[in-house]
Amino acid sequence: MFPLKRNRRLRTNEAIRSLVRETIITPNDFLVPLFIVEGKGVKEEITSMPNYYRYSLDLLENEVKELWSLGLKSVLLFVKVPDNLKDNKGLEALNPNGLMQRAIKTVKNVCPGMLVMTDVALDPYSAYGHDGIIENGKILNDKTVDVLSEMSVSHAQAGADFVAPSDMMDGRILSIREALEDEGFTDTGIMSYSAKYASAFYGPFRDALDSAPVDLINIPKDKKTYQMDYTNRFEAIRETEMDIDEGADIVMVKPGLCYLDIVREIKNDVDVPVAVYQVSGEYAMLKAAAEKGWLEHDAVMMEQITAIKRAGADIIASYFAKDVVKILNT
C-alpha cells in the first residue's frame, strides 16, 4: 500500500520546518568565557583562537556592555596570571585585590545584572600548570581542596554569583559549599565541572592562559591522574551524582561534541541544570577549516551548537556565543 503518511510534508518549506522545530537556540542558552589580563588598553588576540581575545579590565567593560546589548547575560571569567605571581600553592588566588577579584567587581560595576561565574582551579596560579598542589610528584587532593574553598569564598566576597570548580579534585564541592555557608554566602551557587575529561582538545585554552603542565622530572606531564579517562562512560554518572549530593547547583560536561553521549546520559539521570563546555579545540578546528575554505563557518557552527543543546544541554559555554547571537538577531 502506498504510504498515507509522508514525513516530508513537515519539511516542505521554512515556515513549516520552523513551526515543528524541536530545538531552538536563543541568547539565554549561553555562558560566555572571558579571558582577563593585567594592563590597560589590552585586547590581545589568542593566536590559536582566531577572533578571540584577552582583555584588560578597562576594555573588559566595553566587552561586557556589548554582550549585554546582544542579550548575553552570563559570563565565565578566567585570568592570565603573571609568571612572577605563580607558585605551588596558589597564594595569589586568595589575594582580595587579585586580578580575578578585580575582574568580578569590574563586571558587576559596569553591568550589575550580568551573571558572573568564576573559574576555581589552581592551574592559572601554578608554577607547574596543574590544578593542584604538587608534592613528591603527586597532586595533593585534600590540601588543594582547602585552597579551592578559600578561593571560592574570596570570589563570593568580590561579588561572584556562581563559582565554577574546574579542578576535578575529590570532595571539593562539599568543602566549597560548607565554606560558602560558613561565611554567609548561602545564595552563591556552584557550577561543578563534574564530568571533565582528560582531553586533547584543551590546547588553545592553555595557550590563552599560559597554563599548560610543565615538562619537568617528578612533575606529572598531563592531568590524567585527576581528570577523567575519555574511554569511560558510567564514571561520569558517578562523578555527577556525587557532586549533586555534595551541593552542586549546576553540573557540567567538558568537552562538548565528542561527549554528547555523556551529556544525554547525565541529562536523563539528574534533575539539575546541565552545562556543556564547547572547548577551545572545537572552536579552533572550525576556525581553521573555515579559513581554508573547507567548511562553511556559520552553517557548521549553528549545527554544532544545536547538536549540543539537542543532546540535553541547558547551558552552553562557548566561544561562538557572540557569533551565534549575531546571526540570531539578524
Best CA proximity match to 78, nearest among 112, 46, 47, 110:
46
Helix (H, G, I), strand (E, B) or coil at 75: strand
Neighbouring-strand partners of residue 189: 162
- Contact yes or no for 77/118 (Cβ under 8 A): yes
Rounded distance between C-alpha atoms, residue 256 and residue 279, angstroms:
7
Catalytic one of 86, 196, 287, 322: 196
SS3 content of the chain, % helix, strand, coil (to 5): 45, 20, 35
- Contact yes or no for 100/118 (Cβ under 8 A): yes
65 labelled catalytic? no
254 labelled catalytic? yes
Residue by residue, DSSP assigns 156-196 as HHHT-SEEEE-S--TTHHHHHHHHHHHTT-TT-EEEEEEEE
Grid-cell match 548561602, residue found: 186
Catalytic one of 86, 223, 254, 322: 254
The catalytic residue positions are 196, 254
